[in-house]
Structure 1
Amino acid sequence: MSKVSSASPSDADLDRARNGDDDAFARLVEPHRRELHAHCYRMLASSHDADDVLQEALLRAWRGLAGFAGRSSLRTWLYTVATRACLDAAESRARRALPVDLGPASTRPVIGDVPAAETAWVEPYADLGLGAVPTTPDVRYEQREAVELAFVAMLQHLPGNQRAALVLFEVLGFSAGEIATMMDTSVTSVNSALARARTVVSSRVPPVSQQRTLRQIGDERLRETVTAYARALESGDADLLISLLTEDVTWSMPPLPHWYTGLAAVTEFAVAVPLHNCGEWRHSAPISANGQPAVGSYLWNATASEFRPWSIDVFTMRGPQIREVTSFLDPSYFAGFGLPPALEAAWPVALNGG
């Protein structure tokens, strides 16, 4: 049995679903849909791919429900189907990356940087609802820890079998024996995959998670930092922005390939580009992305006479200061965070209740 408990499905709904009742199947799946989507995101590092693969996995589950004999929980069986769908998808897709994975930092601001269309990029994740899945103390990673940018980017450096084994064991609490069955392999192979994956984890994932850091900062101080960042961009206040950053801060903007590290380089970039070369900014209220503080950034569009979505800015914190800014430049992400498609000119600045 899995280390993570779950309620048994309704026998009546299970019988109805096996007989072709799609409403009964939807009722069986709904309690697990959110966590299955997060699982697909961890495996694929893309919210859009997670949407597609989860839909494919549920279609496979619907078609194969007659083969569910009840020897495991429905939840375990659904994870088996979803994991295999993710592994199939991973074989046909390029591994996703962040700009910091692909080359050295730029020493001078790049004006007019062009997206690297040939690169598959890690995408931000709207984590509303995560953390509700019951876990046991021996599960190593909390649900939100396991969607943090550092963890998700690290997973992309692993082969599919190692990625799946690590997530299923360390995040979801399945045993090596269960994982062997789910992945149609041996316990020895699972343990070997786990050992190799843990070596990569130790070299690429910070020892202190963002969840622990955020608890130490506190919600009020964190909100002050995020809204001060928004105010700095909206007012062009370089000194305020600099005061929020660590000495070794990094700033990246996928799909743009160039990135910056160190307070001097980031300051030069910020002054040259977002503060003085982009136009007028407005921001959403603070949101959460990948279990980390974030904000939606909007740029003024004179033709439409409104502020249009520009980027989801995700912050990695060290104490109360920002250690990393990852600005995901794609308006299509905004809907997933429940953010409006535009802001009117009169929209108040974030620090005053935006």
Structure 2
Amino acid sequence: MSIAVNEKLVTWIEEKVKSEYADDISLALLYGSFVNGTANSRSDIDCYFIPRTERGYRLAGTFMIAGVGYDIFPMDWERVRNIANLEEGLLPLVGDVKVLYSSSEEDLGRFRGLQVQMKDNLADKQKSQTAARKRAESAYKLYQDMCKPNPLVEIRKLAGHIIMQLADAAAIYNNDYFHCGLKMQFQDLLKLQKEKDIPIRICEEYLHTVQAKTAEESIRHSYGMLCTVGEYIGVSFSEDLSKDHAESGETTEVKDSALLAGLYEEISSTFNKIYVCCETNNYILAYLSAVCLQRELDDAHREYGSEKYDILSFYEWDDLQKMNLAVKAAEDHLVRFIVGSGGVIKRYSTFEEFQRSAWAW
């Protein structure tokens, strides 16, 4: 169902930009499963644009069609350049995109130049190794947080982010990155191990972390991957790196139902990703997606006063249905909280209903 909707929505975005934002947007770009061929029946489209003017930012929006959430968002040239310089993650957003619209040959050439720049930076031994080591150091900061007294949900969340960062570090150290993002990260890490002969223990500790049943196992195996990657890329973790790591703080309970509704529209695709993973028994992506969703739910609790949901405590790699039920319960409760607080979730049954809506710009 969503594949047909996605094709219509891509055409709609392209026509919208050309007819109403031609002077306000430099580029509109697609990335992710719609572009790389890994989409399923519940996949969204991943789309961002580079504004030229303040008015261009008005194209941004979140909404849901037929139960699938969409997020059309802006990124300025500076952030795209940071990605090309390996200073941020999200490398597929520069390296693996389809240009949907370009306002001029100059803007298109500027973006193509950043793609070449990113490729050159990856090929540059010093730059790629520096970027890899920074990611490993970020993982070490997370490990230090994980060693504090924490409940299982927090330990699993931190462990997940640690292994994702370390996998990125191993790939970038070898002048590459994960072109399909988290969806194929472990499979691509295994390919990297065979092609570049990285230590097999990196892959083993990654998998053991995903399969960990207890907090102690999560800590032990994520630390094992940390040490192995550190030794491989030449990073020492003796220095106290936690001093610059900001604490998340207490709940502020700023109940802005409109912003929370927008957040839900944005992250509903992650809910769907977990449901598909549970149906297909893809426990690795189920874990990684749950780690990302847990972080978003924690942020929603802290910033908007929603309930503090716990989904990762229910994760078991060999029995995903427990977490599936917990995720569904969290989603249902979050929707009730938003609606009960006066929020309006922009949900449409069909693409045609979305197209007719007053909100559709």
* TM-score normalised by length of structure 2: 0.29
Larger proportion of strand: 1
* TM-score relative to the length of structure 1: 0.29
The structure with the largest helix share of the pair is: 2
Structure possessing the higher radius of gyration over alpha carbons: 1
